[in-house]
Amino acid sequence: MIEKCGKNTEFFSIFVISFMKNRFFSILIVCFSLGLLVLCSCGRRHPRGSGLVLPVDSLFIDLSKDAVEKRTKKVEQFFTELNKNAGLNGTVLYAEGGRVLYRHAFGWRRLNQRKEPIQIDDQFQLASVSKMFTAEAVMLLHAQGKLDYDDPLTKYIPEFPYQGITIRHLLNHRSGLSRYETLADEHWPDRTIPMTNEDVIDLFCKYRPEPYNKPGVTFHYTNVNYVLLASVVERITGQHFEDFMKQQVFVPLGMDHSYIYSLRGVDRIKTYVETAVQGHDLYKSGARRAQEDYLNGVVGDKVMLSTVDDLYRFSVALENNSFLPEDIQQEAFVPGSEEWKRGENYGFGWRMSDKHPNIVFHFGWWKGYRTFFIRYPEKGRTLIVLTNTSSSAVGDPLWDFLNDTTVQLPPASVNARLVFD
């Protein structure tokens, strides 16, 4: 009987291999083979307590292997062409179905001199992609019971001269406040002295610029909202924003290569930002290294530095709700306005567009850096592109890439693998 079972097992193994190209029959046959082996094993004598030992590796077949290879090849081809045709200079990470399919670095840290090739673990200034982390800090304080989204801003910054603005208005860009950059350009005479968040608040208190709208009337994206949110974090915790972010956000998330750039304590700014990857402005005459700016002392709306791997760790935490409780975390992806101004909306640190339903994203542009962070939860896709040029040519093709359905992958057997070479 046992000998006959062995022959049957060999027969079914050959049978399984012959039908590997047909997924439906493969699954049926593998299941049937498993059942047959169990029955055959029942006729064998096993030592007491040894349990049933099956040749698992021969039974479970990665039916998505061909699709993964095909998808990976398409991704590689897309970004190679983007580098060639649009001048992609930076790092890329693409994940789908819980698998990191592609990680690659293109170009140079010093583009104007073509010196020092960019490395995959290089840190880039995130520009406005920083806002999602400021929002995450505010949501963390909310989860800890230290603030409510509908609290008035003046509860935490009582000297601020505008009434009726809530924390939620700031998160959703519905405060109606005008640009702090314009105010600074008009009233900050020495551009070698870095400005801080407290300086921004002082300028609004002193000059009281006319708001664009009353609070809560409409969505109007403006950086000052997230500057004020960072200040709220500081007022509540008594910590500098950069310290709070490191201790309460980056370290718990395992984002060991991320930090908030700070000019705190700096009397005069230097000519250039002292980071390995330099930002570059592009002109007809070529690339020029972007200079340090007095507004880089203002935090919350920009000046976070990170890597593609760290940002993917954050994306995995969002997918699994492993940093904040699900009911709190998912509020970040809820449109904050009933109206969609020019087809756009905003959650807590994340953008939405009616052109790309079910996708949440944020792009950034500041002083020679452009960044792109796009999540497509419905299809399990995450795309992170960090560049050190001011070129916008990279951005538009990314949407066609994200929406490509010619090759679709099933979820990985172990989701959200954080395995990097």
Q: How confident is the model at residue 35 (pLDDT cuts 50, 70, 90)?
A: low
Nearest to 395 by CA among 358, 353, 351, 364: 364
- Find residue 389's DSSP bridge partners: 280
Euclidean distance between CA atoms 190 and 389, whole angstroms:
27
pLDDT of 59 > 70? The answer is no
Phi, psi of 79 (to 5 degrees): -75, -30
Nearest to 97 by CA among 414, 312, 330: 414
Euclidean distance between CA atoms 316 and 195, whole angstroms:
35
Residue that the structure tokens 């002193």 belong to: 206
Enter the pTM of the model.
Answer: 0.84
Q: Which residue out of 33, 128, 175, 306 is catalytically annotated?
A: 128
What is the secondary structure of 98-126 as a DSSP string?
TEEEEEEEESEEETTTTEEE--TT--EE-
How high is the pLDDT of residue 62?
56
Q: How confident is the model at residue 419 (pLDDT cuts 50, 70, 90)?
A: very low
What is the secondary structure of 402-419 as a DSSP string?
HT--SS--PPPSSSS---
Give 87-98 pLDDT, tens digit per residue: 999 999 999 999
Give 165-215 pLDDT, tens digit per residue: 999 999 999 999 999 999 999 999 999 999 999 999 999 999 999 999 999
Give 125-157 pLDDT, tens digit per residue: 999 999 999 999 999 999 999 999 999 999 999
Give 97-134 pLDDT, tens digit per residue: 999 999 999 999 999 888 899 999 999 999 999 999 99
Active site residue 322: no
pLDDT of 302 > 90? The answer is yes
What is the secondary structure of 143-206 as a DSSP string?
HTTS--TTSBGGGTSTT-S--S-BHHHHHTT-S-PPPHHHHHHHH---TTSPP-HHHHHHHHHH
* Longest CA–CA separation in the chain, Å: 94
How high is the pLDDT of residue 19?
42
| Mean pLDDT within 255-271 | 96
Q: How confident is the model at residue 159 (pLDDT cuts 50, 70, 90)?
A: very high
CA angle 266, 349, 311 (to 5 degrees): 75
pLDDT of 47 > 50? The answer is no
pLDDT of 50 > 50? The answer is no
In CATH, 77-402 is 3.40.710.10: yes
Domain boundaries, the chain: 2-59, 77-402
Q: How confident is the model at residue 284 (pLDDT cuts 50, 70, 90)?
A: confident
